[in-house]
């Protein structure tokens, strides 16, 4: 699995980008738990000043399937 987190400002300019790759196998014995709970994949990155949203893109390199999610960030007071 490949993941990328991109922080952008209000004009869409990229402020920060973090990418990572992980590999995991789901055995038949663990398949039901995996299907019910999914997988936890913690990532930490500092929020850049002026960031207004984060886009997360995840890609399964074996199948080519891609998913994305954009999360708006609350306006922060300095």
Q: What is the pTM of this model?
A: 0.77
pLDDT in tens, 17-69: 999 998 878 889 988 998 899 888 787 888 999 999 999 999 998 899 999 99
Residue with the two structure tokens 């074996």: 62
Percentage of the chain with pLDDT > 90?
A: 60
Are the C-beta atoms of residues 27 and 77 closer than 8 Å to each other?
Answer: no
Q: How far apart are CA 18 and CA 6, in angstroms?
A: 7
């Amino acid at each position: 699995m490949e993941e990328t987190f991109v922080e952008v400002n209000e004009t869409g300019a990229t402020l920060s980008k973090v990418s990572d790759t992980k590999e995991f196998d789901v055995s038949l014995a663990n398949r039901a738990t995996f299907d019910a709970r999914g997988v936890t994949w913690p990532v930490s990155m500092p929020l850049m000043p002026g960031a207004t949203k984060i886009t997360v893109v995840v890609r399964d390199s074996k199948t080519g399937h891609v998913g994305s999610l954009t999360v708006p960030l609350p306006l922060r007071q300095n």
